[in-house]
Amino acid sequence: MIFIRFFMPIFFVLVSICFLIGTFHLPKAKLGDPNGPLYFPAGVSIFLLITSFVYLIQEWRQQQKYPEFKRLLSGRTPFLIVSTLVLGLLYALVFLTLGFLVSTTLFLAALLFVINGRSKWLLNLTVAVLFSMSAWVVFSQWLDISLP
Amino acid sequence: MKKWWLAVVVLLLLTSCSSQDAGGPFPSKNIELVAPASPGGGWDTTARAMQKVFDDEGIVKKPIQVINKPGGGGEVGWKYLESRDGHSLAINSSLLITNNLLGQSDLSYQNFTPIAILATEWEAVVVPKGSEINSVKELMTKLKKDPKSLKIGVAPGLGNDDHLSFVQAAKTFGVNVPKLDFLVYKSGGDVATVLLGNHIDAATMSVSEAKEQYKAGRVKILAVSSPKRLKGLEKVPTWKEEGVDMVFPHWRGVMGPPNMSEEEIAYWDQRIGQMVKTDAWKEILKNNEWEPFYKDSGESKKFLEEQYQMYKHLLNDSGLTQ
Amino acid sequence: MGVNVQSMLEGLMTALEPGNLLWLAFGGFLGTIVGMLPGLGPATAVAVLIPITFGMDPTTALIMMAAIYYGAMYGGSRSSILLNTPGDGSAIAATFDGYPMAKKGQAGQALAISAIASLIGGLIAVIGFVLLAKPLAEFALKFGPAEYFLLMLFTLSAIVSLSIGNMTKGFISMSIGLLLSTVGVDLQSGVYRFTFDLPQLSEGVDFLVVIIGIYAVGEVLYNYLTIDQPLDKKKRDVGKIWVTKEQWKRSRWPILRSGPLGFIIGVLPGAGGSIASLLSYTTERQLSKRSDQFGKGAIEGLAAPESANNSASVGALIPLLTMGIPGSGTTAVMLGAIIMLGVKPGPLLFEDNPVMVWSLVNSMFIGNILLVLINILLVGLLVKILDTPPKMLYPLILVLSFVGTFTMNYSVVDFYILLLFGVIGLFMKILKFPIAPLILALIVGADMEQNFRKSLILSDGNLGVFFASPISIVLILMTVLSVCYPLIVNGFKKRKRTVEQRSTNI
């Protein structure tokens, strides 16, 4: 638990430092104040750095508990989260090449199999096909939004 | 749960409908008009206007689809066009040239096939109603004395036509251009708002954005960048009359992907030539306060080259490139 | 402008023509449906439905577009309440108490009160429109860059102050939002910041993608934590679809107060529904005797922002119709569309074409009533969504999030951003970080920075510009108050030795 409690504040400290460094590597403005583009991000990064330290100290002094963390790592949860993310990435990769209809049907079917279980395969397939088709009809045909 | 077979049947029907991509004379499949911006802006309006006229007047028989590809000041849409064939066209404007010159994009006009220049707007210099400045000469004299004395509104970015037309004029008056204070806004509407609220001293915007405010007597237009005085703005002098040898169009055109065949180019020349002659097209131009500025593919090519040289010099003068 | 009774009546007659009524109802219905889909807010809804208006009489077209516009505003909050997935920035505040209400088995009541509140807010705004359009438009012009900067600062501080007992996390969340808002091309100088050479990032991170990522995807991931637990019976219960007397009593004043507030903020170009609804929420929470119930399903916490965001949407039409200046993304799209139809909105529209303007105003009156009817009828249908087994519903929400995201920028890069923020949303929920400050900071951050710098250019670097007008001073005082208020409350509590850790997750 110690790891989790201090991970976030330290993470934010790192984020702010990264932004700060990035800020000073920004190109200079060619017109007007050459440093114009960097005041604001620099200011916010420093503010974030300070608040993150305060957060760190607060975590140190009071024992905050996050009961939900245990659940994050138990049962099916980690598997579900990881597979959702992986499927999402795959969907993004094939979306343009396979086109909307095919990739969405596959994506939805895969998600349903993972979440809803293999035993209901017929229902899963039906929903996947019908839902993707109706989404396609609504967006592409009625709303005239260009889908691949 | 017996509906699943129905779904399969419908799916099969749909796929069979959409796969009619056979050979034959050009165009052999659906036409794509790429608007490299979100719905609502000038590029999108142009694309949708073309779609409407092509379709309503039966000029192009194949179905036409407008595709929005916003991002990177047009770059995302144009990159997409680069990978397509002659059935796809994209809207362009001077940003195609200036993005490249400013180092913001690798693509330039040479990477595409010019098809046509369609229409243009003109640029105007505007001051609030209560301003003590009554002519561009007064304005420029003031700026020459102290370039920071007046704050000038511009949208939507430095290096665009609004900005550069002002730069070109200011330069002929001997103003120290890189020292000018420009306030950059997201849209012409935002510039009009701050101008009406007297928060800025002057603005450079397209005529259409200023005209209604002018007619209501809420702003003064000091000069327009057209070769002759404009209809509805008969009292506003052109830059030429004010002693600046400048005609500055804010044009929009269309282009195709690289390596288009002669046949394809000829097809579009003929169809677009037909389109600009229709009443429907003229009506749209009038409603948007655009002016006819048609150039066919050959003329467009020459025009783009001239524009390239001009913008190169102008951007140098403005201080944006060295 | 002076109320011209004759053109007003003529406008009423035009609005009541059967053809116009039909389009009005149709537009409102379509807007509601489209607004419910994640990512498709009012601006997109109007934009994609524009082709329908081609060839229409301009008045009818304007009536229909306005109907789509506020239909989408109604629709946006449906998904906030039922799925914790706001359809648009202005519907975020509806998740704070609307979703907890739905979870408590009061989905029907939540939907009903939001429709009623929207109706009353809309009606207040239409009356405001009739009486105050011109003077308010002139007042809005007084807002220069400095005033805008301070207004945004005030809104941010008000949102952070919502997370009482958790201010550090509120500030962190806000800072992350502000940093994200700096991604993309810097308007003032044209410098590209933090874009990693991706042209898709040049216009910044789209806040709608972040909203969908954190709320919709994040919520689904978060629900995985409890997915295999037996379902709570209560959750499936949708409750009555009408509010009780007691609930109405509690929401009455918040609705009436938030209407005018939202209206005035809506008139300011660029401020818009997000700020209006969030500010009315914070105001009500600070005024309420039951402020500890806010965020846990307090009905007034839903009623207030709903009233405010609908009246803001009417207010946003004022700069468009009186001056020809679009005050928001949606009105900009509408401007483009009516220009195509040959109408030139501008300062002269009221004088040149009074009947058209008054038909629109009257149609907004009628349209709001129609929309409430549509929405109340839909309640029965919509709550069926909650009957869908979650294991079925989650994949569907995920797919809709992806599709909705794609329709915004037509770019797959947004899918990665969506997933990233889904994970961030999950962790924020587990670690009890408030989400609203991040979203609001991302929405207003870029404008805030630009206005800050413009103020300084205008004043040649003199910081006094932020204290130069009465409006600025008022805004500064309100900002200071909103930051101090929780500190005072905290101090008060510590003395009373109630060490109750409150962490409403908003």
- Length of chain C as a residue count: 506
pLDDT grade, residue C473 (50/70/90)? very high
Q: Which residues, including other chains, have CB under 8 Å from residue B53's CB and lie 6 or more apart?
A: B59, B275, B278, B280, B281, B284
Residues in A closer than 8 angstroms to B319, CB to CB, are 30-31
B73 touches chain C (CB under 8 A): yes
Interchain proximity C168–A54, CB inside 8 Å: yes
Helix, strand, or coil (residue C176): helix
d(CA B140, CA B160): 20
Q: B9-13, C69-73, C151-155, C247-251: which range is least confident on average?
A: B9-13
The token pair that represents C320 in the structure block: 């468009």
Residues 6+ apart with CB under 8 A from B80: B34, B67, B69, B90
Beta-bridge partner residues of B113: B256
Residue range A103-108: mean pLDDT, rounded: 88
Better-scored residue on pLDDT, C190 or C258: C258
User: C267, C315 in Cβ contact below 8 A?
Assistant: yes
Poorest-pLDDT segment among B108-112, C115-119, C193-197: C193-197
Look at A43-47, A68-72, A142-146, C32-36 and tell me which has the smallest mean pLDDT. A142-146
Interface check for B184 against chain A (CB to CB < 8 A): the answer is no
Tokens at residue A25, please?
Answer: 């590597």
Give me the pLDDT at residue B120, please. Answer: 92
Residue of C259, C314, C258 lying closest to C284 (CA atoms): C258
Specify the pLDDT at position C164.
66
Return the minimum-mean-pLDDT range out of B74-88, C27-41, C143-157, C289-303: C27-41
For chain C positions 311-370, those within 8 Å of chain B (CB to CB) are 319, 323-326, 329, 332-333, 335-336, 339-342, 344-348
**Residue B106's CATH number:** 3.40.190.150
Residues of C in contact with B192 (CB under 8 A): 323-325
Give the mean pLDDT of B267-273. Answer: 92
Mark yes or no for CB contact A115/C394 under 8 Å: yes
**Hey, is the C-beta of B67 within 8 angstroms of any chain C C-beta?**
yes
For residue B105, give the chain C residue with the closest CA.
Answer: C199
Mean pLDDT of the region C280-307? 86
Do A92 and C420 form a contact (C-beta atoms < 8 A)? no
**Which of chain B's residues have a Cβ under 8 Å away from the Cβ of C204?**
none
The pLDDT value given to residue C226: 76
pLDDT band at B216 (very low <50, low <70, confident <90, very high): confident
Q: What is the mean pLDDT of chain B?
A: 85
Q: From the list C179, C225, C395, which residue is nearest A72 (CB)?
A: C225
Residue matched to tokens 């003329």: B299
Pick from C54, C399, C499, C502 the residue to mutate for testing the A interface (most A CBs within 10 Å): C399
Count contacts between B and C (CB, < 8 Å). 130
Q: Higher model confidence: residue C130 or residue C346?
A: C130
Q: Classify residue B239: in a domain, yes or no.
A: no
**Under 8 Å CB-to-CB from C92, ≥6 apart: which residues?**
C80, C86, C211, C215, C274, C277, C278, C436, C439, C440
> How much is the average pLDDT of C193-221?
83
Q: Which residues of C touch B213 (CB under 8 A)?
A: 323-324, 346-347
Task: Choose the closest CB to B196 out of C323, C348, C410.
Answer: C323
Has residue B16 been placed in a domain? no
Q: Which pLDDT score, from 0 to 100, does residue C243 have?
A: 74
What mean pLDDT is predicted for residues C354-367? 80
B204: pLDDT confidence band, cut at 50, 70 and 90? very high
More confident residue, C444 or B2: C444
Are residues C187 and B49, on separate chains, in Cβ contact within 8 Å? no
Lowest mean pLDDT among B12-16, B130-134, B169-173: B12-16
Per CB-CB distance under 8 Å, the chain A contacts of B3 are: 126, 130
Residues of B in contact with A144 (CB under 8 A): 66
* C335/chain B closest Cα distance in angstroms: 8
C227, A76 Cβ separation under 8 angstroms? yes
Q: Which of A115, A141, A144 to mutate against chain C (most C CBs within 10 Å)?
A: A115
* Per-residue confidence band for A3, with pLDDT thresholds at 50, 70 and 90: low
pLDDT of C39-58, one tens digit each? 667 777 777 777 677 667 87
Q: What is the pLDDT of residue B1?
A: 37
**pLDDT score recorded for residue B21:** 41
Tokens of B22: 């056979």
C410 → closest Cβ in B48, B68, B148: B68
* Same domain flag for B114 and B190: no
> Residue C234: its pLDDT value, please?
46
Please give the structure tokens belonging to residue C15. Answer: 């609005």
Pairs across A and B, CB distance < 8 A: 36
Residue B112 shares a structural domain with residue B127: no
Please state, for a pLDDT cut of 70, what percent of chain C lies above it. Answer: 88
Tell me the shortest Cα–Cα distance from A10 to chain C, in angstroms.
Answer: 12
The pLDDT value given to residue C497 = 44
A122/B8 CB distance under 8 A: no
What is the dihedral sign for C-alpha A40, A46, A50, A52?
A: positive
In this prediction, residue A71 carries a pLDDT of 72
Per-residue pLDDT, averaged over C20-47, amounts to 79
Q: Which of residues 4-33 of B touch C (CB under 8 A)?
A: none
Domain limit, last residue, from B224, B242, B272: B224
B202 and B152 share one domain = yes
Work out the burial of residue B123: count CB atoms within 10 Å of its CB; fewer than 13 is exposed, 13-18 middle, 19 or more buried. buried
Residue C370's pLDDT band (cuts 50, 70, 90): confident
Is residue B13 in some structural domain? no
In a domain, B156, yes or no: yes
Which distant-in-sequence residues (6+ apart) come within 8 Å of C31 by Cβ? C42, C45, C49, C67, C68, C69, C70, C71, C72, C73, C74, C75
Helix (H, G, I), strand (E, B) or coil at A147: coil
d(CA A45, nearest CA chain C) in Å: 7
Mutating which of C197, C203, C318 best tests the B interface, going by the most B Cβ atoms within 10 A?
C203
Range of the domain at B108: 29-120+250-318
Distances (CA, A) of C252 to C118, C255, C265, C304: 12, 5, 21, 9
Contact C52, C239 (CB under 8 A): no
Contact B7 A123 (CB under 8 A): no
**pLDDT above 50 for B24:** yes
Same domain, B129 and B217: yes
Residues in chain A closer than 8 A to B321 (CB atoms): 30
Total structural domains within chain B: 2
CB < 8 Å to C227, chain A: 76-77, 80, 115
Q: Give the β-pairing of B181-184 and B219-224.
A: unpaired
Specify which residues A107 forms β-bridges with: none
pLDDT band at C503 (very low <50, low <70, confident <90, very high): very low
Q: What is residue C492's predicted lDDT score, i.e. its pLDDT?
A: 63
Per-residue confidence (pLDDT) for residue B39, from 0 to 100: 66
Are both B112 and B143 inside the same structural domain?
no
Q: A144-148, B238-242, B258-262, C131-135: which has the minimum mean pLDDT?
A: A144-148
Residue B244 has pLDDT above 80, yes or no: yes
**Residue B138's CATH number:** 3.40.190.10
Regarding whether B215 and B138 lie in a shared domain, the answer is yes
pLDDT of residue B237: 94
pLDDT of residue C137: 78
For residues C333 and C498, what is the distance between their CA atoms, to the nearest angstrom?
A: 52
pLDDT at A65 exceeding the cut of 50: yes
**For the ranges A124-133, C236-245, C429-438, which has the lowest average pLDDT?**
C236-245
Query: What's the rounded Cα separation, in Å, for the pair C363 and B302?
Result: 52
Residue C460 has pLDDT above 60, yes or no: yes
Mean pLDDT on C446-459: 89
Q: What is the mean pLDDT of chain A?
A: 82
> Cβ–Cβ of B193/C325 closer than 8 Å?
yes
Pick the residue from chain B with its C-alpha nearest to A99.
B15
Q: Which of B64-68, B97-101, B299-303 has the highest mean pLDDT?
A: B299-303
Please compute the mean of the pLDDT values over residues C134-143 and round it to a whole number: 81
- What residues contact A7, with CB distance under 8 A and at least 6 apart? none
User: Which is higher by pLDDT, C321 or C491?
Assistant: C321
- Mean pLDDT, chain C, as a whole number? 80
Contact check, Cβ <8 Å, B189/C335: yes
Question: Cβ–Cβ contacts within 10 Å for residue B291, how many?
Answer: 18
**Higher pLDDT, residue B212 or C176:** C176
User: What subunits make at least 3 CB pairs under 8 angstroms with B?
Assistant: A, C
